[in-house]
Structure 1
Amino acid sequence: MTELTDRYLFAATRSLPAAQREELSRDLAERIADTIEARVESGASTPETAERDALVELGHPAALAATYSDRPLVLIGPRYYLTWKRLLVFLESFVPATVAAVSALGLVISGGGWEVIGSAIGIGISVAVQLAFWLTLVFAFIERYDPGKGSATEAADTLGWTPEQLPQLPELRRPHRRSDLVAGLVWLAIAAAFLVWQQFGIVWIGGERSSVPLLDPDLWSFWLPYLLVLIALEAAFAVWIYRADWNWANAIVNVVLNAAFAIPVVWLFIEGRLLSPEFVALVEPHLDADAEWVLSVLFVAGIVGVCAWDAIDGIIKAARGGGRGTLSFPGNRSPQRAAR
């Protein structure tokens, strides 16, 4: 098998349970080999193009996998199911959360109290349901009145699928793409720069930036340097993960780093020592007690939620034996896997 066939097998089997993955991969590999041989013998393809032509003939790997695994794509209809699913997942990934966040901000500004949280969650759920309903209705209408009917494998034509769109094989030695590492380091650099920049004033009064700092200047005696050191450790840890992958030791280190950030920040905030007195004095006249309580809950929940999510994500990757690159599938011929 070549890399192109391996990529096709990976795309077709990655969403299946492990028990089905090996059998389907083996069957597909045999079918691809037979198709290549048949095309070459019949003269339909040259030996150089037979593999790509065979994959085009087989069609979209997700649609083909559905026919093998008794998971017919029938919610909308085989012709448009993949297009509907891809668009639905894309829209649901950010539209409800964005609408809920904007609604919560508007309710807080208008003087809303603790009930803002429940209202925002309700709005987000409502938007998600409405979005799914109307998108499905549109595709059902298209499916009903479109004269061209097709099978699941013909959905590739609807998606404009080609073998060049196949996902790259996961790399066991480099489970995280370099772009992810760079993005993480950039965000850490921005966080460090913000800690320094905010000290020179982050409040705008009358259209001009004031010298009022956001964080209490007294924190420079220990806690702000502590956070800068912690950011440096996070950067070093990100590089280490890029090079070494996830394991239980690294997952524990990740939990410790997240706790080392979340616990002091939340404690300082609850004790009233995180924000500068000047900043609090400027903001308090514009907020009532309920608004202050809501913003405080959102801040604490945000810090705890982000850190907990990152810690749990590391634990899950360690439990799976590593990051994205440790996915086990037939056809993965990386050097590390072959050495096992």
Structure 2
Amino acid sequence: MKLIEAYIYEVTRRLPEKLRNDIALELRSTIEDMLPDHYSEEEEMEVLSKLGDPARLAASYRDTPMHLIGPKVYDAYFWTLKMIIPWAILITVLVHVVETIVLFSGEESVLSVVIKSFGIIIANIIHVLIQTFFWVTIVFVFIERIGMAKSDGSLTKYGTEWTPEQLKTVLVISKKKVIPRGEVIFSLVWTAIWVVLYFNADHLAGVYRSMDGEGLQMVMRALNQDVLMSYLPIVLPFALLEIGLALFKWKERQWTMRLVTVNAVLKVFSVVVLTIIATNPTLLNEAMIPYLATELNINMSSVNNFIDWAVWTVITVIIVTAVIEIYDSYRKAKA
């Protein structure tokens, strides 16, 4: 029965959601009709072998044909794209961020560099996606037209023709528990971004003004970088743990209680570290409060109160967000 459920899952996951339940019922009924009352695993595999590759069977249920790539290699082709594209995007972003930091000369305002870099990253991602799609398509067209020209089978993501034996390795994942690949990639990108921001906080956070028509220039730094760097022995391991958690999610592919526990511990740890850093009275540039008081024409006590309110508001929002994320992951794991 486990092989049957895996086979049905492999077929229906490739279909539009509105068709999955009906086709699952129909397919289960068909398989049961083909089996005797008391069947062995060998008989089960024989029936599934007659039904053939789940990818090709799913293709027969679709209303629209697959014109770009033939059914022999379509499943392997689509799986390859899903595996390559997220990593291509991640590498593109990281390479540009590192290159921008290394080549930054200080002649241009950091804010201008960030805005310009955002546009360059988007353009680079589009270019990489076009190149990835083109070359992967060319490779699979070659495989189908030449490599599998004499084969009646279809190529799977394992690089071999499909057999019922492969169903033993299929992990049937509930839709409620699944962790999207995009979520994992976003976690890695976000970790890279906040690490860069942490090391360059004094160049980014501050008061900006337009100077002599040359764009925005920082006129007052908001943070004390030396204080931030004093927390590096805590922050750096935390960044590595975040990367490890993202890779753990990629491996598990679904929310489990073990993953929920690791995620919750890391969330709590991040909130505690953030609170300690944000509430350090020496984190703020000591010249910032008098500067704001003068510019806004208010007393320094009011500026201090506003900053304290802003810090604790941000901390509260982060705590609430962390609690919601922990609860949501727990709910998914128990689904």
Change in Cα spacing, 1:170 to 1:139, as seen in structure 2 (3 Å) is closer
The reply to whether residue 52 of structure 1 matches residue 45 of structure 2 is: yes
Total equivalences in the alignment: 227
The reply to whether residue 25 of structure 1 matches residue 24 of structure 2 is: yes
Change in Cα spacing, 1:158 to 1:263, as seen in structure 2 (3 Å) is closer
What TM-score comes out, normalization by structure 1 length? 0.50
Change in Cα spacing, 1:34 to 1:18, as seen in structure 2 (3 Å) is same
CA distance in 1, matches of 2:120, 2:282: 28
Tell me the residue number matched to 2:126: 125
CA distance in 2, matches of 1:132, 1:308: 40
Task: Could you tell me which runs of 5 or more consecutive residues in structure 2 were left unpaired when the two chains were aligned.
Answer: 106-112, 180-225, 246-254, 286-317
Change in Cα spacing, 1:24 to 1:147, as seen in structure 2 (3 Å) is closer
Change in Cα spacing, 1:23 to 1:147, as seen in structure 2 (3 Å) is closer
How far did residue 155 of structure 1 move?
A: 4.4
What TM-score comes out, normalization by structure 2 length? 0.50
Secondary structure of the 1:93 match is helix
Tell me the residue number matched to 1:63: 56
CA distance in 1, matches of 2:93, 2:46: 47
Tell me the residue number matched to 2:206: none
Matches within 5 A, 1:209-288: 215-216=229-230, 242-243=256-257, 260=271, 264=275, 267=278, 273=283
CA distance in 1, matches of 2:90, 2:131: 13
> What one-letter code is carried by the residue in structure 2 that aligns with 1:109?
V
What is the RMSD of the two structures over their aligned residues, measured on CA atoms?
Answer: 5.2
How far did residue 35 of structure 1 move?
A: 3.3
Change in Cα spacing, 1:145 to 1:242, as seen in structure 2 (3 Å) is closer
Tell me the residue number matched to 1:337: none
CA distance in 1, matches of 2:31, 2:61: 14
> What one-letter code is carried by the residue in structure 2 that aligns with 1:12?
V
Partner deviation per Cα, 1:224-278 (whole Å, 9 max, x = no partner):
9xx9xxx9xx9xxxxxx855999xxx9xx99x95994696488569x97299xxx
The reply to whether residue 162 of structure 1 matches residue 158 of structure 2 is: no
Secondary structure of the 2:66 match is coil
Say whether the 8 Å CA contact 2:257–2:333 is kept in structure 1: no
CA distance in 1, matches of 2:161, 2:151: 14
> What one-letter code is carried by the residue in structure 1 that aligns with 2:127?
S
CA distance in 1, matches of 2:277, 2:228: 16
Say whether the 8 Å CA contact 1:79–1:158 is kept in structure 2: no
Partner deviation per Cα, 1:258-305 (whole Å, 9 max, x = no partner):
994696488569x97299xxxxxxxxxxxxxxxxxxxxxxxxxxxxxx
How far did residue 130 of structure 1 move?
A: 1.0
Tell me the residue number matched to 1:14: 13
CA distance in 2, matches of 1:124, 1:69: 31
Matches within 5 A, 1:1-340: 2-37=1-36, 47-111=40-104, 113-114=113-114, 115-145=116-146, 148=149, 154-155=154-155, 159-166=160-167, 167-170=170-173, 215-216=229-230, 242-243=256-257, 260=271, 264=275, 267=278, 273=283, 322-323=331-332, 326=335
Say whether the 8 Å CA contact 2:14–2:58 is kept in structure 1: no
CA distance in 2, matches of 1:161, 1:272: 63
Say whether the 8 Å CA contact 1:258–1:308 is kept in structure 2: no
